[in-house]
Structure 1
Amino acid sequence: MRAENRAIQFFSEMVGPNLSGPTEPYFWTHLVLQSSTCEPAVRHSLIAISSLYEDISKARTNGTSSKVNQLHLNSLALTHYNAAIKELIIIKDQGLVLLICVLFICIELLQLDRDAALRHYRHGNSILDLFDPQDTSWVCEWLRPQFHRLQTLHHFFGDRFESFGQHDTLRKTPIFFSTLKYAEETMDKIFNHSFQLVRRGVNYRAGGQQLEQPGPDLLEEQRSLRHLLNVWYTVFNNLEARSTCRPMSITAVQRAYLLSKYRLCRIWTAMVFSPSEMDYDKYEDEYRRMVEDLGQAADERTRGRSRNNFEFEMGFLVPIFFMTIKCRYLDLRVRALHYLKVLAAPREALWEKDGMYALARRIIEIEHGLLLDTDGKPLATLGATCWGLPPNEKRVVHVVTGWTGERSNDFCGHHVQGRNVVFVFKSPDDGVFFQPDVLGEEPVLLPAWSPETTKREVLARGARI
């Protein structure tokens, strides 16, 4: 019983306030914690989450890997997770089942079990179908927004051909935000629809339709999203102006996070049908404003509480990573790389900072022909350093990654340890060429390409950026 009480106390003081990342933590600090006092399944889930979170924190403190955090190695978490599952079977209240579903997703994310987390997400979506979107119950007020944000997880890691009911149907942006939470929820919907448009436009950017005009439905969706983004920004500025007159103002971290998603959506929506990497250079003003916002957030973060080790949802990692690889203004992308290190949690759902930081850093080095020191600042130059905007043929357009945990000789015939990477570039004749690399502790000189690997095999395995 002492271990359970300690886990609940740890959740109250350390886990709950941090799981939400840069967004409002009320769901975890109040709703979940209060429900645990009267619902055994919630209490068991909370203890499992707390114990697994502590494992990650200890691993990070000791400098050991937190990639493998198996449930069977933590008897306390395993016991209470199984107990929560048994309790769930007899629960009739679908709202409570949905709450526990969110907690189960969290447990699986802490273990980096993508498939199990997505299964719970799909189950939760089917339950959410039972609730009227206009319902004002606590389920729609607190749980529906959770699933709006978890759609991002499905977009990035789930089956790209699988679709769900439109729980976040986007009609129009409100003309008034009464709270920051309302602004966040509206941006979550816009973000999801922007990503869906990006997915639908992939063939116009990198497929067989690059020379074709998008259909009227896609162009109308692009126009609508641009309008919604403009309205959202105006209404958010009004909220921010009002918040300065209140005791509780919007923090720099909250502001930077929301605006980084807003700017990411603006660029996504504008670039959705463009096949040219050079077109990203048009958004220098957006990049510069984003870096300024991130700088203010970083100052606030360093003055505030200790850093988090795990966040339940996407935080700063994806927006900042996107900027570091698509903004080719060296001064801005180097600063963004620094802010990625400062603002992002080591783990955000299934995203891991170490790997994304290493990848972004290497892309900067390759595109500008230089080396960065441990602080991410230019250290030395290579053959032809590009201090300005890199030419089209030096820009990374595609990345293929694979993880090798032990020494292996299966990458171009070399013994390597780390993350195997193949960078894909466009050649001057509009073809493609490849550059293998390794992200890790051992710099390995690799040949230009392995002849037995074809272009089709590489692109089929690719992780689009």
Structure 2
Amino acid sequence: MSFKSLGNTSYFRQDTMYSKTGCRTCKIRKVKCDEGYPACHRCVSTGRACDGYAVWGGDLPQSMSAPCLAISTVEKQCLDWLQMRTVTKLPGSFRSEFWSRLLLQASRHEPAILHASLALSAVHKTVVDGEARMDRFVLRHYNMAISHLNGHFAANDTFSIQVILIACIAFVTLECLRGNFVAAQTHIQNGLKIIEAQKYKQDSLADDWIMEVFSRLEIQVRLLNSLSTSSPRHSFDIPRRFRSRKDAWKSLDSLTNNTLRLRSKPVGSSGQTLIARQTILRRLRRWQTVYEASAIFHGISSEVDEVAPTLLMAHHTMATIMAELCLCSDEMAFDSQNHRFAQLMDELQRLDDIGKANPDALSPGPQKGRSIMDLGYLVPLYYVAVKCRVHVIRHQALGILDSVSHQEGIWDPKTTALVSRKIVELEEQDFYHQPHERCLPASHRIGDIKVLRERDPTEKIFLIASERSVAEYDVTLYIDVIAHCYSIHISCELDIISASPYKY
């Protein structure tokens, strides 16, 4: 079995592009397909039903009701929920072919992914609808997925690696929805290790879609704590024009990840590392020029339309600050980026205003189902709060964090707000109570911080600081001091999911 290759889909396309593949209807008619989503323009314009696309295992039937693998009535209901609710909710502001195509199609043909998808769908349905928990159902399919994966680990071929990585993403999502963030991070790190060890090549669209998800997950983990990885991955050149906002997002992901990977290298940079930093900064400038010149930047007609471009610019601003300072160990250097922090905060405030006016704009769906797996504005808000030492700006970020209700992957809002506020308290202490004090001195600033959860479900969070000794901190009654670790007891302040993590 192998993946079929599809042409790239453009969502805000100004010119028509064709590929050798297309929707099932156009294939039967033997006509060119423009591969629009969710239905191609050729079918819609001629009044025909567009039967969709196929990537995995041949043509995709119109409904999940006739899977290639035998399933029960309850399992069919879970697959229908996966198709209609889960995969439309989790991608966030940017549509993801991994969710809308690859996971759905693979779950129809590959047992390991089918069982992982059933477990994920059952958990998501419980979170959204608040129905009776399906723990036995979830556990049974979780274990069956792992059992089927054993054969793929033994085979270790290209197709098996794809199956493993798709299932890994499903497991990450499931654990995030259950509040088991330690297990979710473990899955992410194991997936990244497989990618590194296999020197994973993106030879098909399926590979591209898998790597797109892992790229976002890698950013989420790196901003919590460092990963021991090799040198930055190859970053492709910025094109002359972005065909869609999603193309711009994928390009920015690559630059952000390369910056974070560069930041994890030891201080005492070699000439090659300095060149890599300059290359990233040059490409970030090029990215902004191309994005602003692209047609996708214009024509915003509603608040919902405004979310994607504002979110893009916020992440670009954050990535630029990181790139400027990724090889600098002096916390005072962040003051040189105060103008960018102010710009970033303006962009984040705009997103928050949109979210308050229209909650579905940032995270569509019912209140209990507002979790997404993509990057949103939690990460930039956290970055402003812990790295900008302008009192007004960082407290503005804290104020927004306190009001955020949706989860973004392994970043849950309550924990993020609590950690951010505790870091600010440790740094500022009573500094601003003194007259004429404006600039937080180096002696008060904390360097790079790793955020580690003790176990699932979350009861303690450890903040590991690298720059200052324990004796220098004003430790409150809410913090236990162990060497350079600070554990914040948050069990009374968070809604903790009571179930234990699954045992493999």
Tell whether the 8 Å contact from 1:425 to 1:433 is kept in structure 2 after alignment. Answer: no
- Name stretches of at least 5 consecutive residues in structure 2 with no aligned partner: 1-71, 488-504
Tell whether the 8 Å contact from 1:243 to 1:249 is kept in structure 2 after alignment. Answer: no
Once the two structures are TM-superposed, the CA of residue 191 in structure 1 deviates from its matched residue by 0.8
Distance 2:196 2:467 in 1: 39
Q: 2:282 aligns with which of 227, 231, 234?
A: 227
Once the two structures are TM-superposed, the CA of residue 367 in structure 1 deviates from its matched residue by 4.0
CA distance 1:247–1:271, change in 2 (3 Å)? closer
Q: 1:185 aligns with which of 250, 264, 267?
A: 250
Q: How does 1:107-126 map to 2 (within 5 A)?
A: 107-110=174-177, 111-112=180-181, 113=183, 114-124=185-195, 126=197
CA distance 1:343–1:190, change in 2 (3 Å)? farther
Q: 1:291 aligns with which of 333, 337, 345?
A: 345
Q: 2:261 aligns with which of 196, 199, 219?
A: 196
CA distance 1:124–1:77, change in 2 (3 Å)? farther
Distance 1:402 1:120 in 2: 19
Q: How does 1:105-184 map to 2 (within 5 A)?
A: 105-110=172-177, 111-112=180-181, 113=183, 114-124=185-195, 126=197, 129=200, 131=201, 133=202, 135=203, 137-152=204-219, 155=222, 160-163=227-230, 168-184=233-249
Distance 1:176 1:86 in 2: 45
Once the two structures are TM-superposed, the CA of residue 217 in structure 1 deviates from its matched residue by 1.4
- Aligned partner of 2:332 in structure 1 is 278
- Aligned partner of 1:458 in structure 2 is 484
Q: Secondary structure of 2:447's match?
A: strand
Q: How does 1:361-372 map to 2 (within 5 A)?
A: 361-369=421-429
Q: How many residues align?
A: 397
Q: 2:270 aligns with which of 215, 229, 240?
A: 215
Tell whether the 8 Å contact from 1:44 to 1:81 is kept in structure 2 after alignment. Answer: yes
Distance 2:278 2:90 in 1: 35
Distance 1:163 1:422 in 2: 23
CA distance 1:104–1:359, change in 2 (3 Å)? closer
- Aligned partner of 1:333 in structure 2 is 394
Distance 1:86 1:97 in 2: 12
- Name stretches of at least 5 consecutive residues in structure 1 with no aligned partner: 63-68, 205-213, 371-380, 406-416, 439-443
- Aligned partner of 1:102 in structure 2 is 169
- Aligned partner of 1:48 in structure 2 is 119
- Aligned partner of 1:77 in structure 2 is 138
Once the two structures are TM-superposed, the CA of residue 22 in structure 1 deviates from its matched residue by 3.4
- Aligned partner of 1:378 in structure 2 is none
CA distance 1:323–1:344, change in 2 (3 Å)? farther
Q: 2:447 aligns with which of 372, 391, 397?
A: 397
Tell me how large the CA RMSD over aligned residues is. Answer: 4.0
CA distance 1:109–1:127, change in 2 (3 Å)? farther
Tell whether the 8 Å contact from 1:421 to 1:436 is kept in structure 2 after alignment. Answer: no
Q: 1:18 aligns with which of 82, 86, 89?
A: 89
Distance 2:321 2:287 in 1: 15
1:78 maps to amino acid: L
Query: With structure 1 as the length reference, what TM-score do the two structures score?
Result: 0.71
Tell whether the 8 Å contact from 1:403 to 1:420 is kept in structure 2 after alignment. Answer: yes
Once the two structures are TM-superposed, the CA of residue 293 in structure 1 deviates from its matched residue by 1.5
- Aligned partner of 1:4 in structure 2 is 75
Once the two structures are TM-superposed, the CA of residue 330 in structure 1 deviates from its matched residue by 2.2
1:80 maps to amino acid: H
Tell whether the 8 Å contact from 2:220 to 2:411 is kept in structure 1 after alignment. Answer: no
Tell whether the 8 Å contact from 2:427 to 2:444 is kept in structure 1 after alignment. Answer: yes
Q: Secondary structure of 2:292's match?
A: helix
2:473 maps to amino acid: Q
Tell whether the 8 Å contact from 2:165 to 2:191 is kept in structure 1 after alignment. Answer: no
CA distance 1:141–1:250, change in 2 (3 Å)? farther
Q: Secondary structure of 2:472's match?
A: strand
Q: 1:354 aligns with which of 402, 414, 434?
A: 414
- Aligned partner of 2:306 in structure 1 is 252
Tell whether the 8 Å contact from 2:450 to 2:465 is kept in structure 1 after alignment. Answer: yes
CA distance 1:343–1:386, change in 2 (3 Å)? farther
Q: 2:321 aligns with which of 267, 278, 291?
A: 267
2:257 maps to amino acid: N
Q: 2:434 aligns with which of 365, 384, 392?
A: 384
Higher relative contact order (CA 8 A, sep 6+): 2
Once the two structures are TM-superposed, the CA of residue 232 in structure 1 deviates from its matched residue by 0.6
